[in-house]
Amino acid sequence: MAKRPARFHPRGPVNPVERQREADQRRGSARSRGYTAEWDKASAAFLDENPFCEYCAKGVFGPVDTVSADLTDHLYPHRGDQELFWRAIWWVGSCTTCHSGPKQRLEGQGLPFINALAKRLGRPIRS
């Protein structure tokens, strides 16, 4: 007889506060990764100068559109590397949709894809 397929049970806590706490333990809290008050200030200044999502404006992840930037994205994932974190040449104004969806997936595809994106945005390749 066919076995009933296992049901999907997400691992870890379902409570969002608990989930966040676990994520922080895995990769360090946002603050410990560099998202300090100083960053908030620098990011706000950057977004004043770059008010639109550059990914949307250049049609990187879909049709060209003009959408407000919600945040400053690090083109190259910094993983807590403070030098990379503060390299403004690789800051990109991004909407939440681009940042949390296609950009995350692209980062998962690896460095060649990020390099291709850098080229497309007219940024230097990280060497």
Instruction: Provide the minimum distance between the beta carbon of 93 and Zn ion in the complex, in angstroms, as a whole number.
Output: 9
Nearer to Zn ion, 32 or 96 (CB): 96
* Options 47, 75, 92, 95; binder of Zn ion; rule CB under 5 A: 95
Instruction: Provide the minimum distance between the beta carbon of 53 and Zn ion in the complex, in angstroms, as a whole number.
Output: 3
Q: Does 98 bind Zn ion (CB under 5 A)?
A: yes
Instruction: Provide the minimum distance between the beta carbon of 56 and Zn ion in the complex, in angstroms, as a whole number.
Output: 3
3-state secondary structure the chain: CCCCCCCCCCCCCCCHHHHHHHHHHHHCCCCCCCCCHHHHHHHHHHHHHCCECHHHHCCCCCCCCCCECCEEEECCCCCCCHHHHCCHHHEEEECHHHHHCHHHHHHHHCHHHHHHHHHHCCCCCCC
Q: Does 56 bind Zn ion (CB under 5 A)?
A: yes
The binding site for Zn ion (CB under 5 A) comprises 53, 55-56, 95, 98
